[in-house]
Structure 1
Amino acid sequence: MTARPDKTDGFSRREREIMDALYKLGKATAQQIADALPDPPSNTAVRTLLTILEKKGHVRHSLDGVRYVYEPKVAREKMAQKAVKSVLATFFDNSVEGVVAALLNQDDLKLSQGELDRLAVLIEKAKEEGR
């Protein structure tokens, strides 16, 4: 059975796991990435997926002696923004209020007073900027 891409970001489950590992590690060899994966596939499968991710433009590599060292091609923050936009459009009909309400209505979410204060500042800034 082949892995189907997640409709929110276009990555298969394994591709997403590899990207998550790369973002955590910064730069890594295929073996280091495999070591960071839950229930890792074979090293050959990891290298194949890295090649696919490189062809898709998500990963680049450099040589360290005879080893390939991989890193994400796009900064984590930029990918996070892209993912949020996709989730916003896919699940919330582009409603920021809907996303925030969904987050705040989670039973297991515990925000500190400092986090609430920082969110209030961000909301006030958005009002001032007319967003």
Structure 2
Amino acid sequence: MEIPDPHQLSRRERQIMDLFFQHGELSAQAVQEQLPDAPGYATVRSLLRILEEKGHLSHSKSGRQFIYRPVAGVEKVKHQRLNHLLRTFFGGSISEAVAAFIQDPDNDLRPEELEELDKIIREARDK
């Protein structure tokens, strides 16, 4: 299944999708309560309808409420976004991306994180 392009979303639509990836299913009211500088309820409902039309959300009815959920799981979206980032900024090179992250002085990797990375690399070599 092809995931709709997240880059075709407005800033507010991305904020809403981030909420769904954090929480799973949400009602329009729950979305409105969790959005920073939330727009009115009618605007939130319109945004949810638009996201559904774009193929990012689906809904079911629970009593009088619509409950929305992302069409694609967070793992699938995470991989799609990571692949886009790799192609866009690193020419598809995982090693360049990892090196850029590790060598950035603002990223203070803890020893256990470095050990985990080392373990992942060793496992990849053994495949």
Question: Is 1:11 aligned to 2:25, yes or no?
Answer: no
Displacement of 1:38: 1.3
Q: C-alpha separation between the residues in 2 aligned to 1:40 and 1:16? A: 14
Q: C-alpha separation between the residues in 2 aligned to 1:105 and 1:41? A: 40
Corresponding residue of 1:125: 123
Corresponding residue of 1:93: 91
Corresponding residue of 1:68: 66
- Secondary structure at the counterpart of residue 83 of structure 1: helix
Displacement of 1:58: 1.2
Percentage identity across paired residues of the two chains:
38
TM-score of the aligned structures, taking structure 2 as reference length: 0.87
Residues 6 and 14, structure 2, Cα contact 8 Å, conserved in 1: no
Question: Is 1:113 aligned to 2:120, yes or no?
Answer: no
- Secondary structure at the counterpart of residue 87 of structure 1: helix
Q: C-alpha separation between the residues in 1 aligned to 2:30 and 2:21? A: 12
Q: C-alpha separation between the residues in 2 aligned to 1:105 and 1:118? A: 17
Question: Is 1:27 aligned to 2:25, yes or no?
Answer: yes
Q: C-alpha separation between the residues in 2 aligned to 1:47 and 1:116? A: 44
Q: C-alpha separation between the residues in 2 aligned to 1:45 and 1:92? A: 38
Displacement of 1:8: 6.9
Higher-helix-fraction structure: 2
Matches within 5 A, 1:38-77: 38-77=36-75
TM-score of the aligned structures, taking structure 1 as reference length: 0.85
Gapped runs of 5+ residues in structure 2? Answer: none
**CA spacing shift, 1:23–1:83, aligned 2, 3 Å:** same
**1:16-75 CA distances to partner (integer Å, 9 max, x unpaired)?**
100111112221111111111111122222111111111122111111111111111111
Residues 8 and 90, structure 1, Cα contact 8 Å, conserved in 2: no
Question: Is 1:78 aligned to 2:84, yes or no?
Answer: no
Displacement of 1:93: 0.9
Q: C-alpha separation between the residues in 2 aligned to 1:8 and 1:103? A: 23
